[in-house]
C-alpha cells in the first residue's frame, strides 16, 4: 500500500522506546482484579458491549494478513474508548504498517504470539487437576497426579500416555485451511477416587458434536491447573492465529475480560453453562486474555479415522 498517505498508518514502537508509555496506552478501565504483562500493569476490560466483535477482527485479519505478519487479534479499551489490537510475530522494534483505523475503530499494534499453554520446564506441583509434570510426553510416558498419597515423591502415577495421540495440522479437503490438533488419550492405571462429601457444582455431561459457524458469542468456562476456574466468551467457529511450528492455523478462540489461561493450563476442559464440553485448551496469549481451544468433535473424529477407535464421556456410556 505504498500510495497511501503516511498519516493513515501506525507503526510499531521500537524496542528501545519507553515501554511504560506503550502499556499505559493499553491500560483498561476498572481498577479491580489487576493483571500484568511483564512488569507492566494491565487492568481488565469492562463494558464489552462496546468492543469490536470478533467478526470485525476476522475481517481485519482477512484484509491485512497477506502483507502483514499478523499473529492474532483482540480488542480492548484504549484511552477510554474501544480499539482493535493487532499482534504481530516479528522481533520487537521491527516496523509494521497498518491503517490507524478500521471500520471506525482505532488500531493499536503490539508484539506476541499464542504459545502452547504448557510449562517449558518442570515446576513444583500441588494437589488438584494436574496430569503431568509439565506436559504430556511420548507414548508410554507416565502421567502423574499430585497429592499426599506418596509422601516421598509427593505424587502418584495414575496413568500412561497411550498410542492415541497427535500433534499437528489436518486439512478437511485439499484446499482447506490448516486445523490445529493437539491431543493425547491416556490409559488409567490407578483409578482410586478420594472419598468426599462435596458435591461438584460443575460436571461435564456431554460433548459438542459439531460446529455451527455462527458469529454469535457464547459464554464459556474452564477449569485449569494454573488459573483454576475462569470465564470467557467464544464464537462457534474456527479462527486463525499464528503458530510458531505450523504457521497460520485455526482453532476455537476464547476471549475474556480477565486472564482466562496461563502456562500449565493446557489440557483443561472448556465447556459451556449447560456443561457441554466444547474442547481442550491448547494455547495462550502472553496476557492470558486469549486462548486457543481444540474442538472436541475434531479430536474424536480424528482419533476415530486415524486409529479406528472411539472414545466417549463416562456419563455418555
Give the pLDDT confidence of 58-115 residue by residue, as tens digits: 999 999 999 999 999 998 887 778 889 999 999 987 888 899 899 999 998 889 999 9
Q: What is the pLDDT of residue 218?
A: 95
Instruction: Return the exposure string of 281-310: e unless at least 16 CB atoms fall within 10 Å of the residue's CB, then b.
Output: bbbbbebbbbbbbbbbbbbbbbbeeeeeee
Instruction: Please give the model's pTM, rounded to 2 decimal places.
Output: 0.76
- Domain spans in the chain, listed from the N-terminal domain onward: 6-112, 206-316
Of the CA atoms within 13 Å of residue 254, those in its CB half-sphere come to 32
Percentage of the chain modeled with pLDDT above 70: 67
Q: Do 233 and 216 form a contact (C-beta atoms < 8 A)?
A: no
| CATH architecture group of domain 206-316 | Beta Barrel (2.40)
Give the pLDDT confidence of 134-184 residue by residue, as tens digits: 344 566 565 554 443 334 455 566 678 889 999 999 999 889 999 999 999
Q: Return d(Cα 8, Cα 25) in angstroms, integer.
A: 19
Residue (of 112, 80, 78) closest to 96 by Cα position: 112
Give the pLDDT confidence of 77-92 residue by residue, as tens digits: 877 788 899 999 999 8
What are the cell numbers at 75? Answer: 480488542
Q: Return d(Cα 230, Cα 129) in angstroms, integer.
A: 14
Amino acid at each position: 500500500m505504498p500510495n497511501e498517505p503516511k498519516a493513515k498508518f501506525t507503526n510499531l514502537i521500537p524496542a528501545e522506546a519507553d515501554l511504560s508509555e506503550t502499556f499505559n496506552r493499553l491500560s483498561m478501565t476498572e481498577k479491580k482484579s489487576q493483571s500484568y504483562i511483564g512488569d507492566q500493569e494491565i487492568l481488565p476490560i469492562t463494558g464489552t458491549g462496546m468492543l469490536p466483535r470478533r467478526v470485525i477482527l476476522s475481517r481485519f485479519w482477512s484484509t491485512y494478513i497477506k502483507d502483514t505478519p499478523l499473529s492474532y487479534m483482540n480488542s480492548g479499551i484504549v484511552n477510554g474508548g474501544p480499539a482493535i489490537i493487532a499482534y504481530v510475530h516479528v522481533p520487537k522494534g521491527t516496523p509494521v504498517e497498518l491503517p490507524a483505523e478500521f471500520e471506525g475503530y482505532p488500531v493499536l499494534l503490539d508484539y506476541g504470539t499464542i504459545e502452547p499453554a504448557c510449562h517449558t520446564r518442570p515446576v513444583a506441583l500441588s494437589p488438584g487437576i494436574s496430569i503431568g509434570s509439565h506436559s504430556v510426553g511420548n507414548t508410554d510416558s507416565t502421567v502423574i497426579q499430585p497429592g499426599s498419597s506418596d509422601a516421598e515423591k509427593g505424587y502418584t502415577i495414575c496413568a500412561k500416555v497411550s498410542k492415541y495421540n497427535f500433534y499437528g495440522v489436518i486439512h478437511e479437503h485439499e484446499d482447506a485451511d490448516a486445523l490445529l490438533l493437539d491431543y493425547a488419550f491416556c490409559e488409567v492405571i490407578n483409578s482410586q477416587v478420594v472419598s468426599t462429601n462435596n458435591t461438584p457444582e460443575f460436571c461435564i455431561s456431554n460433548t459438542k458434536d459439531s460446529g455451527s459457524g455462527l458469529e454469535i458469542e457464547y459464554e464459556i468456562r474452564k477449569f485449569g491447573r494454573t488459573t483454576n476456574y475462569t470465564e470467557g466468551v467464544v464464537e462457534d467457529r474456527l479462527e486463525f492465529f499464528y503458530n510458531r511450528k505450523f504457521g497460520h492455523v485455526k482453532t476455537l478462540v476464547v476471549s475474556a475480560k480477565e486472564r482466562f489461561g496461563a502456562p500449565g493450563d493446557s489440557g483443561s476442559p472448556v465447556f459451556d453453562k449447560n456443561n457441554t464440553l466444547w474442547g481442550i485448551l491448547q494455547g495462550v496469549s502472553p496476557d492470558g486474555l486469549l486462548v486457543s481451544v481444540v474442538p472436541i468433535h475434531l479430536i474424536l473424529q480424528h482419533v476415530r479415522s486415524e486409529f479406528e477407535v472411539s472414545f466417549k464421556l463416562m456419563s455418555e456410556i
